[in-house]
Amino acid sequence: MAGFLARRLLNYVVLVVVAASLAYLLAATALDPRSNYAQRTPKPPPAVVDAQLTALNLNDKTPLLQRYATWASGVLHGDFGRSVGGAPVNDDLKRRMGVTFRLVLLGMVFGSLFGVLLGAFAAVRQYGWFDRVSTALSFVLLAVPVVVLANTLILAGSWANEHIFRTLVFMVSGEYSIGLDAGFWRQLLDRLQHLILPTISLSLGLVAVFSRYQRNMMLDVLGADFVRTARAKGLTRRQALVKHALRTALIPVATYFAFTFAALLMGATFTEKIFGWHGLGEQLINSIFSNDVNTVAAISLLAAIAVLCASLASDLLQAALDPRVRA
């Protein structure tokens, strides 16, 4: 097991290095920080622009590989360089990381938990009303992109605020109300109010994917001999289903988890941007528009690490669920 994990880990480290390098090289080629200076009035003299770009390691007159070497040695020392504005990327990202982490974690937990539960429940009562409704709903949800879902939620939220609650229940923009001066509980409530809609927008897609997948896996397992044996040796239906069927059916879902994580990050990016959360995803979109090569590269590196951590976690989860992998 330890050898297996070590090999995996090494492979992942190489993949992260290659992925991050590729992202940097692509960003440095495709984005053009020099154009940021062209729109300024008065137009700065070319020598000044060159000097500034060189100081930021963004000058396109420096050979690409040299810029890459400078960037890479900085990253190895834990320094992601400076943004086009001159502020250190590290500070900015550190502030934003928590925001994204909170959103992704909540979305993932709610999405996979509800998805697995719904799917398992639907499979147990196959072709019952619950199964039919949840299958139809997940089919529809799979056809709704996050950008439409998030906007629909915003519209629905503000409609509900206006017509049902007649007060602000769902907050549709930002992570917290700026300038809210109240006690701890009031602040917490405020944050929760801001959290509800983005979390729904992020996790609904996951619920749809996981419930369909879990339902199919569960159906494969339900008729298996070992479940019948478990019933035969005297376990109640519930015990047999939860301890034997659900656990076995979870194994492929755990593998699937790694594949969905990249999609989850993408969804988090859209959700942040639409709901105005100042997280990494929002910064990624902004920094592409402001030609901010270093920020883009840093966020790509973090995303690659996150995806690989997720697949490592899914390896571990699989090992925990399936004794055959551990051997």
Site residues for other proteins per CB under 8 A: 11, 15-16, 18-19, 22-23, 26-27, 30-32, 126, 139-140, 142-148, 151-152, 155, 158, 216, 219-220, 223, 259, 262, 265-266, 269-270, 273, 284-285, 288-289, 296, 299-300, 303-304, 307-308
Helix (H/G/I), strand (E/B), else coil: 189: helix
Cα Rg of the chain, angstroms: 24
The tokens 């109240």 sit on which residue? 182
Q: Residue 14 CB, nearest distance to other proteins (Å)?
A: 9
Q: Residue 184 CB, nearest distance to other proteins (Å)?
A: 34
Nearer to other proteins, 9 or 148 (CB): 148
DSSP β-bridge partners for residue 190: none
Chain-centre distance of CA 67, in angstroms? 30
Neighbours of 85 (CB within 10 A): 11
The answer to whether the peptide bond before residue 46 is cis (omega within 30 degrees of 0) is no
Q: Residue 298 CB, nearest distance to other proteins (Å)?
A: 12
Nearer to other proteins, 153 or 251 (CB): 153
Q: Residue 74 CB, nearest distance to other proteins (Å)?
A: 19
Nearer to other proteins, 147 or 317 (CB): 147
Please, what's the b/e burial string for 252-282 (b: 16 or more CB within 10 A of its CB; e: otherwise)? bbbebbbebbeebbebbbbbbbbbebbbbbb
Nearer to other proteins, 116 or 209 (CB): 209
Amino acid at 223: G
Q: Residue 143 CB, nearest distance to other proteins (Å)?
A: 4
Q: Which of 296, 302, 298, 304 is nearest to 32 (CA)?
A: 296
Q: Residue 182 CB, nearest distance to other proteins (Å)?
A: 28
Residues 6+ apart with CB under 8 A from 128: 122
Q: Residue 77 CB, nearest distance to other proteins (Å)?
A: 24
Nearer to other proteins, 124 or 265 (CB): 265
Neighbours of 65 (CB within 10 A): 9
Nearer to other proteins, 99 or 304 (CB): 304
Largest CA distance in the chain: 85
Nearer to other proteins, 173 or 186 (CB): 173
Alpha carbon distance 235, 229 (integer Å): 9
Q: Residue 127 CB, nearest distance to other proteins (Å)?
A: 8
Nearer to other proteins, 57 or 269 (CB): 269
Q: Residue 216 CB, nearest distance to other proteins (Å)?
A: 7
DSSP β-bridge partners for residue 88: 82
Nearer to other proteins, 4 or 55 (CB): 4
Q: What is the DSSP letter of 182?
A: -
DSSP states along 224-269: SHHHHHHHHTT--HHHIIIIIIIHHHHHHHHHHHHHHHHHHHHHHH
Residues 6+ apart with CB under 8 A from 60: 32, 33, 34, 53
